A = this chain, B = another copy of it.
Amino acid sequence: MDTLPEKPAWLNRVSILGVGLLGGSVGMSLRRSGVHVVGYSRRESSCRAAIQAGAVDEGFTDIARAAQGSDVVVVASPVDKIVALAIEADAVLAETALITDVGSTKAEIVAEITERSPSAAAKFVAAHPIAGSEKTGVENATATLLDGKLVVLTPDETTSTELLERSKTFWLQTGGRIVPMSPTEHDQRLAAVSHVPHLVSSVLASLLDEECMPLVGSGWKDMTRVASGDPAMWTAICEQNREAILGQLERFADTLGSLREMLVTGDTTALRRWLEDAKTRKDATQ
The segment from A22-30, A91-99, A264-272 found at the interface with B is A264-272
**Interface SS of chain A: helix, strand, loop or mixed?**
helix
**CB <8 Å contact, B212 and A189:** yes
For residue A236, which residue of chain B has the nearest CB? B268
- B199 adjacent to A217 (CB under 8 Å): no
Find chain B residues with CB under 8 A from A253 CB.
Answer: 253, 256-257, 260
Question: Which residues 121-168 in A have Cβ within 8 Å of B in the complex?
Answer: 130-134, 150, 152
Given A246-B260, A252-B203, A232:B193 Cβ within 8 A: no
The answer on a CB contact under 8 Å between A208 and B285 is yes
Structural contact, A256 and B252, CB atoms closer than 8 A: yes
Provide the bound-state CA to CA distance between A207 and B194, in Å: 12
Whole-angstrom distance between the Cβ of A52 and the nearest chain B Cβ: 26
From 85 to 134 in chain A, residues with beta carbon under 8 angstroms from any chain B beta carbon are: 130-134
Q: Which residues of B contact A281 (CB under 8 A)?
A: 205-206, 208
Q: Which residues of B contact A229 (CB under 8 A)?
A: 279
So how many copies of this chain end up in the complex? 2
Q: How far is the CA of A199 from the CA of B223 in the complex (A)?
A: 11
A162 to chain B, nearest CB (A): 26
- Distance to closest chain B CB from A25 (angstroms): 14
Contact of A17 with B by CB under 8 A: no
Q: Which parts of A155-195 form the interface with B (CB within 8 Å)?
A: 179, 189-190, 192-194
- Taking the closest CB of chain B, its distance from the CB of A186, in whole angstroms, is 8
Any chain B CB within 8 A of the CB of A35?
Answer: no
Q: What sequence of 0s and 1s flags, for each residue 206-248 of chain A, a beta carbon within 8 Å of any chain B beta carbon?
A: 1111011111111111111111110110110011001001101
Contact A282 B130 (CB under 8 A): no
Q: Are B201 and A223 in contact (CB under 8 A)?
A: yes
Instruction: Decide yes or no whether A249 CB sits under 8 A from chain B.
Output: yes
A206-B274 in contact (CB<8A) = yes
For A257, the chain B residues whose CB sits under 8 A away are 253
Closest partner residue, chain B, to A235 (CB atom): B272
Distance from A128 Cβ to chain B, minimum over Cβ atoms (Å): 9
For A202, give the chain B residue with the smallest CB separation.
Answer: B278
- Could you show 19 A-B contacts with beta carbons less than 8 Å apart? A132-B217, A152-B215, A192-B208, A193-B220, A197-B219, A200-B223, A200-B256, A202-B279, A206-B277, A207-B255, A208-B285, A222-B223, A224-B282, A231-B272, A234-B275, A238-B268, A239-B266, A246-B264, A253-B260
Inter-chain pairs besides A202-B275, A206-B255, 5 sampled, C-beta below 8 Å: A190-B215, A193-B216, A197-B223, A199-B259, A249-B259
